[in-house]
Amino acid sequence: MKNDYKINEISKLYGIGVDALRYYEKLGLLVPRRDGNGYRLYSLQDMYKLNIIRDLRQLDFTMQQIKAYLDQQSVENTLELLLTEQEMIKEQIAKLETTQRIIQGRIKVLTDASKIQTGVFCIKTYPDRPCLQLNTRITRDEEMDYAIKKLHQKHKSHIPDFGNQLYGASVSLEELKHGVKDVFNSVFFIFDPDEARTIDYDYMLPAGEYLSLFYRGNYRQSYEKMLEVVAYANEKGLCVMGDPFEIYEIDNRDTIITAQFLTEIQLRIVKE
């Protein structure tokens, strides 16, 4: 086994770019000696340090933290470092577990969505549903995407994974009755009731009964489908409370195939 290795050999062995190795040298993390021609030669001790640098970088230690440890390496400092690593690993595991739950939830939504029957009216009962809302007038699909992104940007600390966040948009019932098509007056993120304690919600979908109708495909159906929901409520003698809204179960976050879009219209009602 050789005692010294050239920079290209180390780069290939560790999968580290030559520029990165030169950067480590500039920071004083590695101090390779030079041969008679001025070429860098890395010793086994340098390789040991590279192992440490690689492991600590994977845990997001800064270069300054790594240098401080290498400069003052001792049993006590190593023990302190290991305890710090242990806590950081616990945090990463917790984040991964959260991500796993989110992914599992989305898998369930997409799987269940394939079984949902469209065009069928039903009444659902909900508890209070906390929301984060943005009131804005939306007349085009592009404006909807922008409004959702704006709302997410405002509350991104509460929504680590926007791709799996349930959201909706509401229309004015009065405008709907007067023939105003495809105009929405707000967008909102919907959370589970048990999340109310962890978010500073600014809007609530009140507890109660909601008339529900699912449809698949292009959003150009929205106006007619909402009129169908309102007409059905009137036909069945249901008292309408508030504006109708859509919930986007499957949209352009999940598919580019418009026919696969799945949208639910909900309208709060009271049985007379």
Among 20-34, 77-91, 189-203, name the one with the lowest average pLDDT.
189-203
pLDDT attached to residue 119 = 95
The tens digit of pLDDT for each residue in 54-86 reads 988 888 889 999 999 999 989 998 898 889 889
pLDDT attached to residue 272 = 67
Q: What is the mean pLDDT of residues 172-179?
A: 94
Surface-to-core class of residue 75, CB atoms within 10 Å of its CB (0-12 exposed, 13-18 middle, 19+ buried): exposed
pLDDT attached to residue 20 = 92
Strands 203-205 and 129-138: antiparallel
Which has the higher per-residue pLDDT, 184 or 114? 184
For residue 101, is it left (φ>0), alpha (ψ between -120 and 50) or beta?
Answer: alpha
Nearest Cα neighbor of 215 from 228, 198, 199, 232 is 228
Helix (H) or strand (E) holding 59: none
Residues in CB range of 36: below 8 A, 6 or more apart: none
Alpha-carbon gap, residue 36 to 125, rounded angstroms: 82
pTM: 0.70
- pLDDT over threshold 90, residue 95: no
* Side-chain-side CA neighbours of residue 248 (13 Å): 26
pLDDT attached to residue 157 = 76
| Domain map (residue ranges) of the chain | 4-73, 116-271
Residues in CB range of 139: below 8 A, 6 or more apart: 182, 183
CATH of 4-73, one of 1.10.1660.10, 1.10.10.10, 3.30.465.10, 1.10.260.40: 1.10.1660.10
Phi, psi (rounded to 5 degrees) for 5: -135, 140
Residues in the chain: 272
pLDDT attached to residue 237 = 93
Work out the widest C-alpha separation in the chain, in whole angstroms: 96
pLDDT attached to residue 78 = 87
Alpha-carbon gap, residue 258 to 266, rounded angstroms: 21
Which has the higher per-residue pLDDT, 152 or 195? 152
Q: What is the mean pLDDT of residues 164-182?
A: 92
Alpha-carbon gap, residue 218 to 4, rounded angstroms: 66
What residues does 34 pair with on adjacent strands? 40
pLDDT attached to residue 199 = 81
* Domain spanning 116-271: CATH 3.20.80.10: yes
Return the ∠ at Cα 271 (arms to 195 and 166), rounded to 5°: 25
pLDDT attached to residue 160 = 66
Residues in CB range of 77: below 8 A, 6 or more apart: 69
* E strand spans, 139-240: 167-170, 184-190, 203-205, 208-216, 238-240
